[in-house]
Amino acid sequence: DAGVIQSPRHEVTEMGQEVTLRCKPISGHNSLFWYRQTMMRGLELLIYFNNNVPIDDSGMPEDRFSAKMPNASFSTLKIQPSEPRDSAVYFCASSVGEGYTFGSGTRLTVV
Amino acid sequence: SQQGEEDPQALSIQEGENATMNCSYKTSINNLQWYRQNSGRGLVHLILIRSNEREKHSGRLRVTLDTSKKSSSLLITASRAADTASYFCATSGVSTDKLIFGTGTRLQVFP
């Protein structure tokens, strides 16, 4: 198994542009989580899905953030419009039961 | 807001020594997990301890849980330079699948 696959690994974009981050969870995992990691705030849970349905999006910072999971093998996190304070590493993780498997993350820089 | 806080924030030891990291949390939990993060990488699940367990071992790792004090500790015995990483505790609530991460401990093991 290739693990949780995130793309792109790095993204540099200008303020105001739309950014889409992608995640492919491990086959058979029925829960998917999006986290954001910064030095100031640590690891923050943004949203999680169970069986492709959003369960808790209370961590999504603003309406500029949206996430979808159209099927069991794919999820996106979109930021529109992006702002410099969105710069962070965004992680996707999947699980079946206990214990998460994390992807390698997408390092987003908004200039 | 983060559920857990870890202590110390940073720890430096020599190879062969033991490393102890502590985690405190705020609300009732279903389980507590420890993860390792190498610089620039995703998090890796190390060990899980359930709320009705007091101690658990896995190789050189020993985890304790004291639910009355809402605290946990991770002991790494006979540390190696390869153990250099950040270590995070994460808690899962009683009625939710989501994990809330602590602030992390940066461990440096000198050869």
Alpha helices in chain A (DSSP H): none
Structure tokens at B22: 């502590």
Which residues between 1 and 60 in chain B have a beta carbon less than 8 angstroms from any beta carbon of chain A? 2, 31, 33, 35, 41-45, 48
Q: What is the pLDDT of residue A71?
A: 95
Q: How far is residue B48's CA from residue B35's CA, in Å, rounded to a whole number?
A: 9
Among A18, A23, A29, A83, smallest CA distance to A51 is for: A29
Instruction: State what percent of residues in chain B have pLDDT above 90.
Output: 80
- Tokens representing A73 are 């093998």
Inter-residue contact A45 to A51 (CB < 8 Å): no
* pLDDT at residue B1, as a whole number: 44
Count CA within 13 A, CB hemisphere, residue B69. Answer: 10
Give mean pLDDT, residues B38-64.
Answer: 95
Whether A45 and chain B come into contact, CB under 8 Å, resolves to yes
Q: Are A18 and A80 in contact (CB under 8 A)?
A: yes
Token digits for B55?
A: 């101690």
Taking an 8 Å cut-off on Cβ atoms, the answer to whether B43 and A55 are in contact is no
Q: Read off the tokens for A57.
A: 């999006």
**Residue B61 identity (one-letter amino acid):** L
Q: Above 90 in pLDDT, residue A3?
A: yes
More confident residue, A85 or B95: A85
Measured between beta carbons, which residues in chain A are less than 8 angstroms from residue B34? none
Report how far residue B24's alpha carbon sits from residue A94's, in angstroms, rounded to the nearest whole number: 25
Contact B97 A43 (CB under 8 A): no
pLDDT at position B98: 86
Average pLDDT over residues B4-29: 93
Give the pLDDT score at B3: 61
For residue B19, give how far its alpha carbon lies from the nearest alpha carbon of chain A (Å): 22
Distances (CA, A) of A62 to A5, B51, B62: 25, 34, 40
Neighbours of B62 (CB within 10 A): 17
| A50, A56, A105: residue with CB nearest B42 | A105
CB contact B92 to A (< 8 Å):
yes
Q: Residues B14, B76: contact at Cβ < 8 Å?
A: no
| B-chain residue closest to A33, CA distance | B98
Residues B97, A104: C-beta atoms closer than 8 Å: no
Chain-chain contact of B41 with A104 (C-beta, under 8 angstroms): yes
